[in-house]
């Protein structure tokens, strides 16, 4: 009897969870529906304002903002804070999509619009859905997860092949070598999949890469999905 009770309680909890998920999606759609064109910037939450990577991220976001892009981040510290700060300097919409974690991730002070999510996958949808370029700064497991998800969505034609730009070749070289020498060599991905990636070593290279792509495709303002 105890087992049946626990199963019934779990079913009730799942039913309410569904409504919470729908609520997060609706709130996200309402928040982000008018921000295009926008760029999502990913990277480590652990860097400090005095770090060079923080300063480079801030400059990248400022330059993209000067081009007319809103900036979307995960809303936390580190790279996310730097990108939102750069967006504020450019005077564009600075979006922070935070997440509730066991060890609380504090939202940064540089967002102009924000939402806090309970479910990671809903937050991921929002980080991708309204972006029309993706800048991947050095980071850890979360950054790698988000990079691979964006690439997989493009590989499977679930979103359009917008620019995916890795910053700092020295940081990403090992991953790129592994993808080519192991994953591609075994036929698990194609050369076309690797072609989705661009690598840049300066803020100017990133803004030039994004600008050239949009001039070629004339897609300014279109969202990813």
pLDDT tens track of the chain, all 225 residues?
444 444 454 455 777 788 888 999 999 999 999 998 999 999 999 999 999 999 999 999 999 999 999 999 999 999 999 999 999 999 999 999 999 877 656 789 999 999 999 889 999 999 999 999 999 999 999 999 999 999 999 999 999 889 999 999 999 999 999 999 999 999 999 999 999 999 999 999 999 999 988 877 654 433 333
Within a domain: 224: no
Model pTM score: 0.88
Q: Which residues, listed in sequence order, are joined to residue 71 by a DSSP beta bridge?
A: 39, 94
The 3 state secondary structure assigned to 77-115 is CCHHHHHHHHHHHHCCCEEEEEECCCCCCCCCCCCCEEE
Within a domain: 225: no
Q: Which residues, listed in sequence order, are joined to residue 159 by a DSSP beta bridge?
A: none
Angstrom distance (rounded) from CA 180 to CA 190: 9
Q: What is the CATH number of the domain that holds 82?
A: 3.40.50.450
Within a domain: 223: no
Instruction: Write down the pLDDT at residue 101.
Output: 79
Within a domain: 222: no
Instruction: Write down the pLDDT at residue 190.
Output: 94
Angstrom distance (rounded) from CA 127 to CA 71: 10
Count of the separate structural domains present in the chain: 1
Instruction: Write down the pLDDT at residue 52.
Output: 97
Helix axes 52-66, 79-90, angle to 10 degrees: 40
- Residue 35 sits in which domain range? 2-217
Angstrom distance (rounded) from CA 184 to CA 178: 8
Instruction: Write down the pLDDT at residue 12.
Output: 57
């Amino acid at each position: 009897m105890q087992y049946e009770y626990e199963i019934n309680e779990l079913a009730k909890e799942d039913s309410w969870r569904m409504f919470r998920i729908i609520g997060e999606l609706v709130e996200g759609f309402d928040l982000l529906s008018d921000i295009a064109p926008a760029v999502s910037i990913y990277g480590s939450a652990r860097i400090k304002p005095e770090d060079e990577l923080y300063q480079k991220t801030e400059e990248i976001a400022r330059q993209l903002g000067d081009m007319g892009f809103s900036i979307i981040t995960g809303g936390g510290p580190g790279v996310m804070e730097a990108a939102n700060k750069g967006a504020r300097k450019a005077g564009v919409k600075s979006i922070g999509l935070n997440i509730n974690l066991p060890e609380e991730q504090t939202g940064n002070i540089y967002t102009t619009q924000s939402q806090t999510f309970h479910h990671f996958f809903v937050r991921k949808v929002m980080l991708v859905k309204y972006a029309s370029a993706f800048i991947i700064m050095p980071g850890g497991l979360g950054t790698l997860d988000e990079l691979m998800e964006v690439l997989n969505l493009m590989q499977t034609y679930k979103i359009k092949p917008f620019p995916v730009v890795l910053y700092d070749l020295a940081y990403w070289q090992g991953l790129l070598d592994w993808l080519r020498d192991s994953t591609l060599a075994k036929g698990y991905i194609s050369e076309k999949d690797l072609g989705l990636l661009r690598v840049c070593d300066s803020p100017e290279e990133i803004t030039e890469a994004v600008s050239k792509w949009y001039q070629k495709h004339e897609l300014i303002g279109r969202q990813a999905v």
